[in-house]
Amino acid sequence: MEVRIFDTADEIAVACADIFTEIIKNKPDCILGLATGASPVKTYKELIRRYNNGEISFENIRTFNLDEYCDLPRDDKNSYYTFMHENLFNSVNIKEENVHIPDGNAADPEAHAKSYDAMIDAAGGIDIQLLGIGTNGHIGFNEPSDTFSDGTFKVKLTDSTIKSNSIYFDDDSMPRYALTMGINSIMKAKKIVLIATGEAKADAIKATVDGEVTPMCPASVLKNHPDAILLIDKAAAKLL
Ligand code: PGA
Q: What is the pTM of this model?
A: 0.97
> Does 90 have pLDDT greater than 90?
yes
For the annotated catalytic residues, the residue numbers are 67, 136, 138, 143
pLDDT of residue 178: 98
Where do the domains of the chain lie, and which CATH numbers do they carry?
Answer: 2-223 (3.40.50.1360)
Paired strand residues for 193: 130, 229
Q: What is the 3-state secondary structure (H, E, C) of 123-154?
A: CCCCCEEEECCCCCCCECCECCCCCCCCCCEE
Question: How many Cβ atoms are within 10 Å of 150's Cβ, its own excluded?
Answer: 11
Pocket test for ligand 1, best of 84, 162, 164, 181 (most atoms within 8 A of CB): 164
Instruction: Work out which ligand 1 atom sits closest to the CA atom of 195.
Output: 3
Mean of the pLDDT values across residues 129-149? 97
Averaged pLDDT of the chain: 97
3-state SS class at 205: helix
Q: How far, in Å, is the centroid of ligand 1 from the Cα of 53?
A: 29
From the CB of 104, is ligand 1 less than 6 Å away? no
Q: How far, in Å, is the centroid of ligand 1 from the Cα of 130?
A: 11
Q: Could you report the per-residue pLDDT of 149-184, keeping only the tens digit for each? A: 999 999 999 999 999 999 999 888 899 999 999 999
Instruction: Work out which ligand 1 atom sits closest to the CA atom of 201.
Output: 5
Instruction: Work out which ligand 1 atom sits closest to the CA atom of 139.
Output: 9
Contact by Cβ (8 Å): 32, 61: yes
Q: What percent of the chain has pLDDT over 90?
A: 98
> Does 139 have pLDDT greater than 90?
yes
